[in-house]
Amino acid sequence: AAGVIQSPRHLIKEKRETATLKCYPIPRHDTVYWYQQGPGQDPQFLISFYEKMQSDKGSIPDRFSAQQFSDYHSELNMSSLELGDSALYFCASSSTPGTPTEAFFGQGTRLTVV
Amino acid sequence: GQNIDQPTEMTATEGAIVQINCTYQTSGFNGLFWYQQHAGEAPTFLSYNVLDGLEEKGRFSSFLSRSKGYSYLLLKELQMKDSASYLCAVKWDYKLSFGAGTTVTVRA
């Protein structure tokens, strides 16, 4: 069965550079969530999209932005990278928010800022 | 906020049973999930509950009481490979929020 696909799997950037992370949800899933997980921490909600519109916002820095495209894939854009942005970034997808439904995660992108 | 509380750590012996409790704020509740996560890997979906009662899936069972804002994950016949972090996550409309996770260590 198709799963949530994230790319790239690993990314190394220097401070002040820009990074773009991509997420391809499970087919027919219209909701995408982005999470940041630092070492030894629980996943922190960044932002979510439903039907290409931002649906909720968590602890996402102003340096980050995201969008969901017409094919439902989503991109997280991170600018002016800082050392503290080094983390695992997960994307999850589900269908029909507001109704109980399972949410599945991609394998994550490990971002290292040096 | 939407507080989700679960114990930080639990240790059990191979073959034993462990119960991980999770409490959460009830307003706006729309489903509760349990995920297993090994270090450096993505959370893996284990179960979800939206109605009161027990859901059983092999060695794993999950229980929900909506009125009490309470759930537990029951791991039976523990195996060494079950050593991992177990995340309780609650869905409120467009957000899926996680607890801090419970690290389960299985000893021989």
* Contact: A104, B48; criterion CB under 8 Å: no
CA B87 – CA B90 distance, rounded (Å)? 10
* Contact: A100, B30; criterion CB under 8 Å: yes
CA A82 – CA B66 distance, rounded (Å)? 41
User: In the predicted model, is pLDDT for residue A96 greater than 80?
Assistant: no
Cβ atoms within 10 Å, residue A15: 11
The mean pLDDT of B11-38, rounded to a whole number, is 92
**Residue A62: CA count within 13 A, CB half-sphere:** 0
CA B26 – CA A84 distance, rounded (Å)? 33
Question: Mind listing the pLDDT tens digit for each residue in B47-79?
Answer: 989 899 999 989 999 999 999 999 999 999 999
User: In the predicted model, is pLDDT for residue B42 greater than 60?
Assistant: yes
Find the largest Cα–Cα distance for chain A: 41
Interior angle at CA A109, CA A49 and CA B3, nearest 5: 55
Whole-angstrom CA distances from B84 to A35, A56, A75, B11, B14 are 19, 29, 29, 11, 14
Whole-angstrom CA distances from B37 to A49, A68, A114, B40, B85 are 24, 26, 26, 8, 5
Both tokens of B2, joined, read 């939407």
Whether residue B42 contacts residue A108, with contact meaning beta carbons closer than 8 Å, is answered with: yes
The mean pLDDT of A91-95, rounded to a whole number, is 89
Write down the pLDDT at residue B1.
40
Closest-CA residue of chain B to A88: B40
Question: Mind listing the pLDDT tens digit for each residue in B5-19?
Answer: 999 999 999 999 999
* Contact: B95, A58; criterion CB under 8 Å: yes
Please state, rounded to an integer, the average pLDDT across all residues of chain A. 91
CA A39 – CA B102 distance, rounded (Å)? 15
Interior angle at CA B93, CA B91 and CA B99, nearest 5: 25
| CB within 8 Å of A62: residues ≥ 6 apart | none
Helix or strand or coil: residue B49?
strand
Write down the pLDDT at residue B108.
94
* Contact: B42, A102; criterion CB under 8 Å: no
The mean pLDDT of A52-63, rounded to a whole number, is 90
The mean pLDDT of A96-110, rounded to a whole number, is 77
Among B40, B48, B98, the residue with its CB nearest the CB of A100 is B48
If residue B90 lies in a helix (H) or strand (E), which one and from where to where? strand B84-92
pLDDT level of residue A101 (50, 70, 90 thresholds): low
CA A12 – CA B5 distance, rounded (Å)? 34
